[in-house]
Amino acid sequence: MKTILVPTDFSEKAENALKVAAQLAKKFDAEIYLLHLIELPVDMVNPVGETRSNDLPEALFFMKMAKQKFDELLSRPYLKGLKVHDTVEVNKAFDGILEASTKHGCDFIIMGSQGASGLKEMFIGSNTEKVVRTSEIPVLVVKNDHPSFEVKNFIFATNLESTGKNTLSKVVALADTFQARLHLVYINTANEFVTSNDCDQKLKKYIEGTDFNNYEFHIFNDDSVEQGILNFAKKINADVVGIATHGRKGLSHFFNGSISEDLVNHANSPVITFKLEN
């Protein structure tokens, strides 16, 4: 973890994400790219994508306001001694975040979230759902203020399919980085019930070739996958909940439905998503 991207709209929720990023940057000697995106109204842009000259004063005003807010934010004591790159870009939020993560070689994105009111209420709107779903690098979504962000118990919910083995390697590597206990959990539901013996057989194939020891495997029974993950996280007092996303368009991401987005909304713990790799 050497380069962390933190998109911000200067809200309290976005600053919660920045505070977590600052703690991780200090711990792992990482740099932070703090990104603010200005989305200009469509009528301010002509058909070839250039801002009309008579609208430049308004665009410059937005840039100036963002610079002032950056100056205030960068003066926070918790950022002292850190290498923080502040940048303002005119771009659509979703496109801008992914482009910035690639441009700056980021290996981690940390974003703020409003929580249970829904992804449409997250600080850059429904774009957060798109980033969570399609980012090539892990995305950590933070809702609350964490004065001391320590990861001791790290849950990763898995369906034990072999298509997730490469993703598991990334999860294990991050757990090792955090020096956390990794809790692999399979949520058993009435609709898709799997016996303990079958789970054990699947687990052997799933972890085959993965070098890690600091982990536990759990089978947790519940009414739904989402509720099972939430209840298990509460049971063991998880610091972070990890899930995989398929990167598909629509809402078919993890197991079924919109599990990743639902967890981001409802989990008390920060949620980290990994793109599923074959």
- pLDDT tens per residue, range 96-107: 899 999 999 999
pLDDT at 254 > cutoff 70: no
Classified as helix, coil or strand, 272 is strand
Structure-block tokens of residue 95: 């496109």
Q: Specify the pTM.
A: 0.85
Q: Give the model's pLDDT for residue 156.
A: 96
Distance CA 107, CA 100 (A): 11
Are the C-beta atoms of residues 185 and 155 closer than 8 Å to each other? yes
How is the chain split into domains, by residue range? 3-142, 153-275
Total Cβ atoms within 10 A of residue 209: 9
Distance CA 249, CA 243 (A): 17
Compute the mean pLDDT over every residue in the chain, rounded to the nearest whole number: 83
Q: Give the model's pLDDT for residue 166.
A: 86
Superfamily of domain covering 3-142: HUPs (3.40.50.620)
Give the mean pLDDT of 53-63: 65
CATH fold label, 153-275: Rossmann fold (3.40.50)
| β partners of residue 87 | 35
Give the mean pLDDT of 134-138: 89
Are domains 3-142 and 153-275 of this chain identical in fold?
A: yes
| 214: confidence class by pLDDT, cuts 50, 70, 90 | very high
